[in-house]
Amino acid sequence: MDENFSSDMWWGTLGTIRPFPNFHPDRDAADIQAALERKDAAALVRILTNRSNAQRRAVAQSFQDETKQDLSGALKKVLSGELEELLLQLLMLPEQLEAQRLKAAMAGLGTDEETLLEILCSRSRKTLQEVAAVYRQMYNKDLEKELKAETSGDFARLVVALLNKAVTAGSVRRDVQALAASLSGKKAEAGPWINILTSRDSDHLDKVLMELELETGQTVGQLVEKRFSGDFRLGLRVLVQCIQNPEVYLAQRLLTMKTSLVQGIMVSHSEEDLLRIRAAFLRLSGSSLYSTLQKHFKGEQLLALQAVCRSED
């Protein structure tokens, strides 16, 4: 893996995890080695959740230089289950984690369409290009081909368009007219929805969706529910939510308290916008994410998730 693949990370000021100020990777590597020998999961959690992603990778490199062992492999020998999965996710680059989540969503019988949509709708074109490149490195497979094999019809066209988002200029008025016209026939047309919603910037789309609501007297959500069906309807529903308010959509996903979702979303957004998602979670549920985690998780897994969450709201 190229260490400099994403040197700028997905770092935003709205992340919950910041670089540890007094950072010594060799000291951390020695402390981790001692914790592994003692099978001290709490110490491993304390170190790995209090370092930024770039710092964790520096620690993993120091650990390898010192012990000639891969840190992920060493953790697997001592940990198990969901805690092991969480700490291994913390050692990945964010784009590796999203690639792994996409792969898991397509594994086995049946596809987890909503996880595919969550990542494809909430991530930028640049990020998805990085995820696709990492996917090829990790699995020796082409992400677009894999997505096509898992989907069909209008839904497949939507998913591929989301992966290859390209921002082109458009007229708000013309876009509103095209979307309204697509709903006027007996059967709603998917084409304009795919073309417009995957090829404009979010400010433009906000205006288009607001004007469409004024023109039709219905929310975009209502229009989508009434006029489309199946996976394509789900796809449009998620895409519209991610255009209008991505952190509210992600907070709704967290409300399920399903382990794979909670860990995947919290870790992949921890250095980017988890503070925003936390605020949306509080507005939606009336409880903080920090205290809700306490009701659903325990032990070292709870410690780790609360450390990623960072604090009470």
Distance between start and end Cα atoms, the chain: 37
Give the model's pLDDT for residue 313: 87
pTM across the whole model: 0.92
CA dihedral of residues 206, 209, 215, 219 (deg, nearest 10): -120
CA 164/CA 195 separation, integer angstroms: 11
Note whether 75 and 88 are within 8 A (CB): yes
Nearest Cα residue to 154 out of 192, 102, 121: 192
**Residue 12 per-residue DSSP state:** -
CATH, domain range 25-91: 1.10.220.10
Burial of 303 (0-12, 13-18, 19+ CB in 10 A): middle
Give the 3-state secondary structure of 94-141: HHHHHHHHHHHHHCCCCCCHHHHHHHHHHCCHHHHHHHHHHHHHHHCC
Q: Which residues of the chain have pLDDT under 70?
A: 1-13
Give the model's pLDDT for residue 109: 77
Q: Give the residue extent of every domain in the chain.
A: 25-91, 94-244, 247-309
Domains 25-91 and 247-309 share a fold: yes
* 155-182 core/surface letters (b: 16 or more CB in 10 A; e: else): bbbbbbbbbebeeeebebeebbebbeeb
What kind of architecture, by CATH, is found in domain 94-244? Orthogonal Bundle (1.10)
Determine the Cα angle at 233 with ends 194 and 285, to 5°.
115
Q: Which fold has domain 247-309?
A: Annexin V; domain 1 (1.10.220)
User: What is the phi/psi pair of residue 138, to 5°?
Assistant: -75, -40
Give the model's pLDDT for residue 110: 82
Give the model's pLDDT for residue 21: 92
Give the model's pLDDT for residue 2: 40
Give the model's pLDDT for residue 10: 46
Give the model's pLDDT for residue 166: 87
